[in-house]
Amino acid sequence: MKAIIEVSRRGSVFRSAAQQVRAARRGGSTDFRLGFESARSLFAELTPARLDLLATLRGLGPCSVYALAKAAERNYSNVHTDVSRLEELGLVVRSDDGSVSVPFESVEIRVPLAQVA
């Protein structure tokens, strides 16, 4: 499964969420979709540092935030903040033992060059 992160027209985020819910109810495996209203808001949330954390975490596999900070060679507090936000966005999951992981094989970011009305 992959995560598709995109800039989409107003309202299409809700349609995408509804499609994900319907597919999950049918037992189908669908890609995770996350929409933003503008490229500015997308890249405000998914900074280069957060994207690097996703890649590092995917390579490491499930681990503690401390181990991730050490592997990424970043300050623990900053990594903790970034992981918490990535968890809120649904791009990182936390297990019962507190370890974090990326449940996706890949992340695809789609930014249209022009919005069609």
Q: What is the pTM of this model?
A: 0.79
Q: Classify domain 2-110 by CATH number.
A: 1.10.10.10
Identify the CA nearest to 110 among candidates 2, 6, 34.
6
Pairing of strands 100-101, 93-94: antiparallel
Q: Torsion angle of alpha carbons 13, 15, 19, 22, nearest 10°?
A: 120
Examine the pLDDT at 5 and tell me if it is beyond 90.
Answer: yes
* Predicted pLDDT of residue 1: 86
* Predicted pLDDT of residue 28: 57
pLDDT in tens, 65-106: 999 999 999 999 999 999 999 999 999 999 999 999 999 999
Give start and end residues of each alpha helix (H) in the chain. 12-25, 39-45, 48-60, 65-72, 76-89
pLDDT in tens, 31-66: 899 999 999 999 999 999 999 999 999 999 999 999
Contact 1, 103 (CB under 8 A): yes
Q: Token pair of 103, please? A: 């449940």
Q: Which residue's structure tokens are 């060679």?
A: 73
Q: Which residue's structure tokens are 């499964």?
A: 1
